[in-house]
Amino acid sequence: MAEISNLAYVVLNASDLDAWETFATRVLGLQVGSRDERTLRLRMDERMHRVIVEQGEADDLTALGWEFDTRADLDSYVEQLRQRDVQVNEAEESLRQARKVERLYYCADPIGVRHEFSFGPQQAPLSSPFHSPLLVGGGFQTGELGVGHVFVVALDAEASVRFYTEQLGLRISDYIRDSHSIPGVAIDGVFMHTRSGRHHSLATAAMPSAKKLNHLMIEVKSLDDVGLAFDRVRAAQVPVIMDIGHHPNDRMLSFYMVTPSGFGLEYGWGGVVIDDANWSVSNYSQLSDWGHRFALPAVQ
């Protein structure tokens, strides 16, 4: 049975591309891959892009780009989706070229996020290696683990989890049920991973939110880079949602900030990689086992 390898890229809709470029390059340490009037492509590694920011007014998540290791895996997976009564379409040539992949299909999930399935990502030219003058510890943790993870807000949590696991084939990593960390908000989160094992590429819960995306997480290879990023955030007066802390399930040390689009971004280090042969699904009762004190409301 064909499975998704990783979450290769995310597509965001933003009303202010200039603010996003400044935030991404001067705070996060990303590199501009390309920029035109409608689209900002951001690099984290040798890929042409990992984060695509498209001009618009929603300031929210548009699409998730799931990757397959071979063309045969992708073709087999698309056939599986159709056998599961998922309406999946082959992308038009303009979208395929925009995503810079050899082959591309897509479908929609219960909250209206487009899920894109691709093979054959285009690499940046060898003459343009990724370089961030802000990072000191070897760059971002991407490769076969993908871009990072997203936490999306479900309208109907059961329906969303069924779609992600039974239709898309994501594997459940664990659960967090926490009614104490956020005053007045009970979190019943489900965390899901792909074949390559990043603890979760997608998590979801039903919670009060004006946006589909609660946060995007990007991971660095050095703990020093988390501390340096926290200093940059403070210096740039970027609002902090939660200060530095540690999650018990994915063991990520991180902090959360507000993006120019209003949703959150988690900047972390040390996330666990799952080996399914030795992994047991667990239930946790708290979002964080230390730190992560809230400076701003966790939901907008």
Residues present in the chain in total? 300
How confident is the prediction along the chain (300 residues), in pLDDT tens digits per residue?
A: 899 999 999 999 999 999 999 999 999 999 999 999 999 999 999 999 999 999 999 999 999 999 999 999 999 999 999 999 999 999 999 999 999 999 999 999 999 999 999 999 999 999 999 999 999 999 999 999 999 999 999 999 999 999 999 999 999 999 999 888 777 778 899 999 999 999 999 999 999 899 999 999 999 999 999 999 999 999 999 999 999 999 999 999 999 999 999 999 999 999 999 999 999 999 999 999 999 999 876 545
> Rounded to two decimals, what is the model's pTM?
0.96
Measured CA to CA, the distance from residue 280 to residue 289 in angstroms comes to: 19
> Residues 6 or more apart from 79 whose CB is under 8 A from it?
none
User: Is the CATH code 3.40.50.1220 the one for domain 6-121?
Assistant: no
Q: For the chain, which residues make up each domain, given as ranges?
A: 6-121, 143-291
At the topology level, CATH places domain 143-291 in 2,3-Dihydroxybiphenyl 1,2-Dioxygenase; domain 1 (3.10.180)
Cα separation, 147 vs 33, in Å, equals 15
Answer yes or no: same fold for 6-121 and 143-291: yes
Q: Which residues pair with 174 in a beta bridge?
A: 191, 282
